Amino acid sequence: MDSLSLNELLGILALLLVFGAWFSAAETSMMALNRYRLNHLIRKGNRSAKLTGRLLSKVDKLLGSILFGNTLLNVAAAAVTNIVILRIFGTSEWALLAGTLLITFVLLVFSEIMPKVIAASYPERVALPSSYLLSPLITLFHPVVSVATAMVNGFLALLRIKIQTDQSKSKMNLEELRGLVLEAEQFMPRKHQKMLLNLVDVERVSVNDVMVPRNQIEALDINVSGEVLREQLVTCHHTLLPVYEDTLDKIVGILHVRRALGLIQHAEFSHEGLREILLEPYFIPADTSLLTQLQKFQERHLRLGLIVDEYGELLGLVTLENILEEIVGDFTTQTPAQSGKFLYQEDGSLLVEGGTSLRELNRKLGLNLPLDVAKTLNGLIQEYLGDIPEAGTSLKIAGHPIEIIQTQDRMVKVARIFPVLPARSSKSAN
């Protein structure tokens, strides 16, 4: 380099710093790139996205080439800096030391930290254009990088460390998907985000969590008189009704009310005629997930299933509407029995039936009652107290003050839930 002038050496040094900065930015942007956004662009046919995807499919070669190029440029920049110092200050040891420290600082700030911060902030803008230059460089550096990669793989094999070179095939678990939906709040309405979160959670919710409990099932006893059956059919609030003999444990079928309307209009209405139009009952294990049951309903073209425990005892029923409401929210018309579950009071408190589902309370009222110890408000209170409470008993669960208003048949019949008041500051408390 004796033939190069000082200005030319400074120009070469500046170019080395610029290219070193680009290598640093390319490395960070490739690793920070959103793989799901990249796959979306690939499906749309974006050329630079396709090229970037191919580079990321061999991440060991990509990183090896980037690190080789970056190291080569940094070493070259240090060598050129030493030549410049020798031209200006001669063979002074202090000048060489100061120059080494200076180029180290310059490389750290302008070729490492600053480009990586920019690339981490705008990974897509940096990575996609960079792929056009990285592709030929990977081919150019292949002989050196392949030797280095083989040595690395050999050491990793000795250490029994498995590596995944194709990052595009990495899978997302449910918690990561849930986090992704939560982070997308600014891109979608709150209602749509809530529906997506419910859809993510539907796999870990069982039919036992959303069922209509046994004591709330509207059903027909086929052994009662014809007049009683007529009256029940005319006044029922559901399209599908379980039909039993004497007790709910003896379900004989499911009645589609519309099919029975024509039957009850005739004077010769008979129990035998009613039996003939009954549908076969469909029984469901209590631990079946909502997503599985939704698929079963679709496959069997059914809308109602009876939930039984491991001993075959009837626990309740679940309908297609129950499952869909867990995803999209309430959309069906409530029956009089359902509409009476919540009663707002003037003081802001709420009277709630003890048999109300905790999931329903949390969803409709925005509460955060725990779901892992019981299914209903009555069960949660008894689990918390370890006893059947008396009327007038007060307690606090998950920050919600609750007062027992009425007990009946060894269960909480009605409870009052008070609104959670915001915590007062220490100044106001004093």
Does residue 144 sit in the same domain as residue 77?
yes
What CATH number did the domain enclosing 263 receive? 3.10.580.10
- The verdict on residue 71 lying in a domain is yes
- The verdict on residue 187 lying in a domain is no
**pLDDT (tens digit per residue) in 17-68:** 899 899 999 999 998 888 878 888 888 888 989 998 888 888 888 888 898 8
pLDDT band for position 87 (cuts 50, 70, 90): confident
Does residue 72 sit in the same domain as residue 123?
yes
Does residue 320 sit in the same domain as residue 240?
yes
Out of 39-43, 132-136, 358-362, pick the least confident.
Answer: 358-362
**pLDDT (tens digit per residue) in 265-284:** 665 667 777 888 889 999 99
User: How many structural domains comprise the chain?
Assistant: 3
Does residue 19 sit in the same domain as residue 135?
yes
User: Residue 238: pLDDT above 90?
Assistant: no
Does residue 302 sit in the same domain as residue 362?
no
- The verdict on residue 423 lying in a domain is no
**pLDDT (tens digit per residue) in 361-375:** 887 777 888 888 788
Domain that holds residue 29: 6-169
Does residue 364 sit in the same domain as residue 261?
no
pLDDT confidence of residue 280: 93
Q: What are phi and psi of 410, to 5 degrees?
A: 60, 30
The more confident residue out of 382 and 6 is 382
Does residue 104 sit in the same domain as residue 238?
no
Does residue 255 sit in the same domain as residue 379?
no
What's the whole-model pTM score? 0.57
**pLDDT (tens digit per residue) in 406-418:** 888 888 889 998 8
**pLDDT (tens digit per residue) in 158-195:** 888 776 555 545 566 667 677 777 777 777 777 777 77
Does residue 117 sit in the same domain as residue 147?
yes
pLDDT band for position 427 (cuts 50, 70, 90): very low
Positive or negative torsion for Cα 306, 307, 309, 315: negative
